[in-house]
Amino acid sequence: MKNIAVSLSPEFADMFVRQQQLLHRLISTMFGIVGCSWFLLLLPESVVEAENHDIFRCGQYELYTIMLTLWGYDFRRRSVRFAWLLEASAALGKLPSAITPDDARTANKLHLFEIFSKLPKSNHKYFHIIFTWGLFFISAAMFTRQLITLFS
C-alpha cells in the first residue's frame, strides 16, 4: 500500500491514501473474520442444530457475494483512478507523481479519489460513497445475522 503514496503527489497522498488504506484494512479484516467463521461449522450438533448449520452455510455464500462485490468495486475504482492518472500525465506532460488535485478538479475527475467522504470542490454525486458504506454495513449486518442464526 505504501507504493500508492510514492506514486501520488503529496496533496493527493494527504487526502486519499489514508482513506484507501482504511478501506483496505476494513475489507481485509471482514474477509478474515468471515473466513474464520467457517470453523463454526465444525461445532458438534449438541451445540448447533443441523438445520442451523445448513442455513449458516447458505448465508456464508450470500455474505461472500456482498464482500466480493465491495472488493471488486474498490478494485475497479482503483483501476480507473490509476488509468486516469496515466492519461492525465501523458496529456499534461507531467509525471504521474506531479498530478495535483487541481488537475483532477479541472478534468472533473476528483471524484475518483473519494472513498468514504466527498472531497472539497468535487462536483460528483454521492453514489460511490453510499455504495461503499452500504456494502460494508450490509456485510457486517449479514455476519451478525449469521451468528444469531447459528446460535439460536
**pLDDT for 12-64, tens place per residue?**
778 788 888 999 999 999 999 988 988 887 878 778 888 888 888 888 899 99
Residue 1 or 73, more confident = 73
Average pLDDT, the chain: 85
List the single range of 1-15, 30-44, 70-84 with lowest mean pLDDT: 1-15
Question: Which amino acid belongs to residue 56?
Answer: F
Q: What are the domain boundaries of the chain?
A: 2-38+53-151
**How many Cβ atoms sit within 10 Å of the Cβ of residue 50?**
8
Q: Which three cell numbers stand for residue 2?
A: 505504501
Can you tell me the distance from the alpha carbon of 10 to that of 7, in angstroms, rounded to the nearest whole number?
A: 9
